[in-house]
């Protein structure tokens, strides 16, 4: 570990632009035309595993993983991760299962930047995964900042007192993310480094 300042990263929408791939799989599972993009985005206003979506999770991942593995990192993210890893401890906390994330980050040569990857197989609650981070690495909520693109994640982090930076280039709009009272907004990957540094400099 670099130090006790941890940057926790959501994965889908923040590091990889997987919305279209995930939506198309969910649309197929919902059997069609009445399941709109807006309907899918709304599922992420809370924990995606709360409700009927969880019942289809196994089917979802079977269909989603092949398409997801073909995606590229969002432009600018690799460079940002490389810089942040020099100064902070980085962890992925995701609702996608860990094994394909591990495969994907290794494929794109960014696995070396993360000290741990915690997917849905570790726990479906990001609250519980953050508690695991606190216990394993002997850190407190104030030692962490969470970068995410969904309102549901902001709400989960807030229950533990973990401050978040909201990425407005992902699943949710700035207006939706503002409902979660983030500590700041990241409007494109080029701002990740500056916004993280700004956050820690204020503390």
Give residue limits of the domains in the chain: 6-17+73-202, 19-69
Q: 6-17+73-202: which CATH number, 3.40.640.10, 3.40.50.720, 3.40.50.1000, 3.40.50.10680?
A: 3.40.50.1000
Which tens digits make up the pLDDT trace of 25-39? 988 887 666 888 998
pLDDT over 90 percentage in the chain: 83
- Residue 49: band (very low, low, confident or very high) from pLDDT cuts 50, 70, 90: confident
- Residue 55: band (very low, low, confident or very high) from pLDDT cuts 50, 70, 90: low
pLDDT of residue 48: 84
Quick one: 98 exposed, middle or buried, by C-beta within 10 A (0-12, 13-18, 19+)?
middle
pLDDT tops 90 at residue 122: yes
pLDDT tops 80 at residue 132: yes
Output the pTM of the full model. 0.94
pLDDT of residue 5: 94
- Residue 4: band (very low, low, confident or very high) from pLDDT cuts 50, 70, 90: confident
pLDDT over 70 percentage in the chain: 94
């Amino acid at each position: 570990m670099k130090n006790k300042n941890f940057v926790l990263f959501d994965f889908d929408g923040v590091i990889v632009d997987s919305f279209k791939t995930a939506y198309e799989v969910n649309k197929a599972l919902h059997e069609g035309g009445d399941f709109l993009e807006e309907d899918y985005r709304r599922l992420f206003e809370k924990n995606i595993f709360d409700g009927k979506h969880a019942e289809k999770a196994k089917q979802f991942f079977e269909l989603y993983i092949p398409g997801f593995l073909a995606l590229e990192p969002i432009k600018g993210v690799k460079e940002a991760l490389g810089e942040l890893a020099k100064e902070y401890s980085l962890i992925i906390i995701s609702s996608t299962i860990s094994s394909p994330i591990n495969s994907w980050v290794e494929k794109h040569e960014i696995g070396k930047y993360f000290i741990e990857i915690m997917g849905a197989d570790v726990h479906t609650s990001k609250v519980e995964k953050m508690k695991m981070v606190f216990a394993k690495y002997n850190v407190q909520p104030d030692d962490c900042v969470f970068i995410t693109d969904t309102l549901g994640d902001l709400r989960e982090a807030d229950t533990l007192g973990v401050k978040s930076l909201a990425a407005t280039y992902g699943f949710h709009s700035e207006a939706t993310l503002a409902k979660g009272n983030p500590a700041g907004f990241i409007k494109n990957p080029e701002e990740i480094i500056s916004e993280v540094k700004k956050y820690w400099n204020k503390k």
